[in-house]
Amino acid sequence: MLERITPQNHHAATGYAHAVKAGNLLFISGQTGRNVDRSLVAPGDIAAQTRRALENIATVLEAGGGTWADVAKLTIYLTDMRFLPRVREVRAAFFAEQGVEPPAITSVGVTGLATDDTLVEIEAIAVLQ
């Protein structure tokens, strides 16, 4: 049985679930640098958008009963691969703050995301304990 996860303290999902729990697996939809009101943080700032996307994943993780220690895989979509070094810095600092080692990670360059001003989108897979 699948359980759809919709955190109360997150922006509304339009036509999708923020996450789906299947047994002990939690599949988290791509998260971007959007606030609860759907406004984009710091247009043009890859570091701020990356940080917010990771914070949004944390919100969905918690709602699904998980923590960063449960995350097995991240996929990071970037509109410009030149952003990758900065994304790596933000990601490393974020995981250090969480006190966990980073999971498996794939970074992919894309020609565009949901909106023209979105620079990064991150999806996650967690194995809940």
pLDDT digits (tens, 9 = 90+) for 42-55: 999 999 999 999 99
Alpha helices in the chain (DSSP H): 46-63, 84-98
Average pLDDT over residues 8-16: 86
How many structural domains are present in the chain? 1
For residue 31, the surrounding DSSP H or E stretch is strand 25-31
Task: Tell me which residue has tokens 């509304």.
Answer: 12
CA distance 80 to 82: 5
* Pairing mode of beta strands 104-109, 71-78: parallel
- Entry pTM: 0.96
Task: Tell me which residue has tokens 């989108």.
Answer: 121
Structural domain boundaries enclosing 10:
2-127
Edge to edge, the sheet with strand 19-22 lists: 2-5, 19-22, 25-31, 120-127, 71-78, 104-109
pLDDT digits (tens, 9 = 90+) for 71-84: 999 999 999 999 99
Three-state secondary structure call for residue 115: coil
pLDDT digits (tens, 9 = 90+) for 13-24: 888 999 999 999
- CATH number, domain containing residue 18: 3.30.1330.40
